[in-house]
Amino acid sequence: GDEESLGADTASLDAEDFFAFVKCMSLIGAVMAFIFVCDRTSLFFKQSKEYSAFAFAAPVAGLALLGLATVERPKDAPATFLNREQTMEWKGWMQLVLLVYHFTGASQVLPVYVMIRLLVASFLFLTGFGHTVFFCTKRDLSVQRLLQVLFRLNVLTAFLCIVMGRSYQEYYFVPLCTVNYLLVYGTMRLLPAWNESAGRLLVKIGGLFLFVAALWHEDSSSQRPLLTAIFSLPGIFPLFQENGSVHEWAFRSALDRYAAPAGMLVGCLYTYYFSSSSSSSNSVSFTSSNALTNLWRRRQ
């Protein structure tokens, strides 16, 4: 009787998972079909982007009002510095502003361009910070974790590349996040025992800064030879090329190259110096008083 009940429960669970998968894939398929119809057919009218201050400011102001109108304090959110709920909310609003920026053609306006560069750098900083805190507290450096994050970052972009026939680099923000995540993961995965010591982890992060400086080093001819050599390798080049060159990717990726390492640095300092959690606890909390106390004790 128990075996039959267990078998029925397993079959029911498998059926639920299957229908959930079909539902998700159907939704993705519908979205991709809509994008293709909008961009590659004459069913909808098209026009060139012509920037106007009102066209950019109006949707941004609308998003700001929407955000203010829906402010709430999650009941179960941990009272920590830059916790997951905060950073995911921040990333979501930044991505909406980025969509408005590209949709309205605001890249030619210097003040708007500078603001967007700050948002992109903030996003990459949070990538370095969040994953460093996670790796230090959860100690999950498994391949499964790596693949989960890569899948989450790239699944929709992969569908877009296939449906629209574009290269991976043309949706540059996702490759940017992916490459920076791989830098963070690689740094934490190398000599993982060092992650349990603040001093040794800081040494690894310092090594990452040096590696990033070398990787994106620009020579006298304004070329980045090491980066170009790596991203011109077979299997990688088709993903990052544009018009037969990786020059555009080299330029875009170089703009905020130190943001993720800076996030790692802050994440390390926060975890080991500004956290009241003991070495036996996986939770992290933050107050100004215990931060100063812990920092003082570390210096003794």
Distance of CA 190 to the CA centre of its chain: 21
SS3 245: strand
Long-range CB contacts (within 8 A, 24+) of 205-211: 205/261, 205/264, 205/265, 205/268, 208/183, 208/261, 208/264, 209/258, 209/261, 211/183
The pLDDT of residue 181: 98
Compute CA distances 231 → 172, 244, 247, 249, 275, whole Å.
14, 12, 10, 9, 39
Answer whether residue 13 shows pLDDT above 90: no
Length of the chain: 300
The pLDDT of residue 284: 39
Distance of CA 149 to the CA centre of its chain: 9
SS3 242: strand
Burial of 288 (0-12, 13-18, 19+ CB in 10 A): exposed
Tokens of 251: 């330029």
Residue 74's contacts (CB-CB under 8 Å, 6 or more residues apart) are 85
C-alpha radius of gyration, the chain, whole number: 23
The closest of 216, 208, 269 to 81, measured between CA atoms, is 269
* pLDDT tens-digit series, residues 161-205: 999 999 999 999 999 999 999 999 999 999 999 999 999 999 999
Burial of 185 (0-12, 13-18, 19+ CB in 10 A): middle
Are 178 and 154 in contact by the 8 Å Cβ rule? The answer is yes
DSSP-derived secondary structure letter, 256 = T
Q: What is the pTM of this model?
A: 0.85
Band (157; pLDDT cuts 50, 70, 90):
very high
Band (293; pLDDT cuts 50, 70, 90):
very low
Answer whether residue 156 shows pLDDT above 80: yes
* Mean pLDDT, the chain, integer: 87
Instruction: Give backbone dihedrals phi and psi of 242, rounded to 5 degrees, phi first.
Output: -145, 120
Are 151 and 129 in contact by the 8 Å Cβ rule? The answer is no
What end-to-end distance do the CA atoms of the chain give, in Å? 65
Answer whether residue 209 shows pLDDT above 60: yes
What mean pLDDT do residues 286-294 have?
40
Ordered alpha helix ranges (H), the chain: 2-40, 53-69, 84-103, 110-138, 143-164, 173-189, 198-215, 225-231, 237-240, 247-255, 259-273, 288-299
